[in-house]
Amino acid sequence: MAKLITVFGATGAQGGSVANALLEDQDFKVRAVTRNASSDKAKALQGRGAEIVQASLDDPSTLGPALQGAHGVFVVTNYWEHMDQEREIKQGKDIADAAKAAGVLHVVFSGLENVEKIAGFPCPHFDAKGQIEEYMTSLELPVTFVRFSFYYENYISMMKPQKQEDGTYVLGVPMEGAAMDIVSAGDMGPAVRTIFRNWARWIRRAVGFSGDKLTIQQTADILSKHLAPKVFKASDMTADEFGQLGFPGADDLGNMFKFYRLHNPDRSVELTRQLHPTAMTFDTWAAENKEALQNALD
């Protein structure tokens, strides 16, 4: 019998990819959670066979019904919608409690490291997820943590290359020459599906998703190849300088880049490809998303 998986964030990047991958597979049924069941994205999911449930991580009374009868649940919390660490932690603890109460057999949580604890400097959007991981572990939930790297998709949204006076474009990711793991968020659904399929094997383990590990100049060179004659270069900004740029969340992101450089957290291209053999490299993704990359540029 097909296993029912409740998918939080199904209208977004991570959860959308998970829902899509599960919907393609007859061994699974998808219950997609959204706060707005009448949105176009929710209707599109319904049209493809998902059950739509209206619920919110901010309203614990809605979580039990969203999990009722589910074999598994994919959980992603969205720090950037509110940028409130305590609120994200509460969301994570509430869904953990609800999963425990509902007797869900497998929780896949999109977590990240507790940077404050590991590195000694704060990184609220990581730290919140780290604290949720710790809480889920303390509850002895049957959980797998999946930790996404910096998305390829950020290069067409919040980290799009910035045009310089000389006409070149700069990638403002301050890695100070170090390589960074990156991944397509929209491409990881099949990897999560493999984890749900072999659920007993993945309980109490963490997987760091990575499609590629590149320096920012290597990333820029790939963009220059696909978007020629435009030329892309790595920024020479430091993570600390980035943290002082002054926009909301700059310090949080600056410390994230510093954490990546100094602590090289466990993300694995090899393991990601074991779970999803055709996981895209940045080169493949850039070729497939040339138009979107082009349209994002000034």
Ligand X SMILES: NC(=O)c1ccc[n+]([C@@H]2O[C@H](COP(=O)([O-])OP(=O)(O)OC[C@H]3O[C@@H](n4cnc5c(N)ncnc54)[C@H](OP(=O)(O)O)[C@@H]3O)[C@@H](O)[C@H]2O)c1
**Which residues bind to ligand X, rule: CB under 6 A?**
8-15, 33-36, 56-58, 76-81, 125, 148, 150-151, 154, 185
What secondary structure does DSSP assign to 3-64, as a single string? EEEEETTTTSHHHHHHHHHHHT-TTEEEEEEES-TTSHHHHHHHHTT-EEEE--TT-GGGHH
Least spacing, CB of residue 1 vs ligand X, in Å: 27
Least spacing, CB of residue 55 vs ligand X, in Å: 6
Which is closer to ligand X, CB of 24 or CB of 84? Answer: 84
Closest chain position to ligand X (CB): 12
Least spacing, CB of residue 161 vs ligand X, in Å: 16
Least spacing, CB of residue 291 vs ligand X, in Å: 20
Q: Which residues have a Cβ under 8 Å from the Cβ of 284 and sit 6 or more positions away?
A: none
Least spacing, CB of residue 116 vs ligand X, in Å: 15
Residue type, 82: H
Least spacing, CB of residue 256 vs ligand X, in Å: 9
Which burial class, exposed, middle or buried, applies to 135 when counting CB atoms under 10 A from its CB (0-12, 13-18, 19+)? Answer: middle
Q: Which residues have a Cβ under 8 Å from the Cβ of 137 and sit 6 or more positions away?
A: 143, 204
∠87-92-98 over CA atoms, to 5°? Answer: 125
Which is closer to ligand X, CB of 154 or CB of 162? Answer: 154
Note whether 68 and 4 are within 8 A (CB). Answer: no
Least spacing, CB of residue 228 vs ligand X, in Å: 26
Q: What are phi and psi of 29, to 5 degrees?
A: -120, 145
Q: Which residues have a Cβ under 8 Å from the Cβ of 165 and sit 6 or more positions away?
A: none
Collapsing DSSP to helix, strand or coil, 231 comes out as: coil
Which is closer to ligand X, CB of 15 or CB of 174? Answer: 15
- β-partners of residue 183 are 151
Which is closer to ligand X, CB of 80 or CB of 204? Answer: 80
Which is closer to ligand X, CB of 33 or CB of 143? Answer: 33
| Residue 231: Cβ within 10 Å count | 15
CA-nearest of 155, 154, 121 to 224 is 155
Note whether 210 and 293 are within 8 A (CB). Answer: no
Which is closer to ligand X, CB of 27 or CB of 84? Answer: 84
| Residue 68: Cβ within 10 Å count | 13
Which is closer to ligand X, CB of 61 or CB of 154? Answer: 154
Which is closer to ligand X, CB of 56 or CB of 168? Answer: 56
Least spacing, CB of residue 22 vs ligand X, in Å: 15
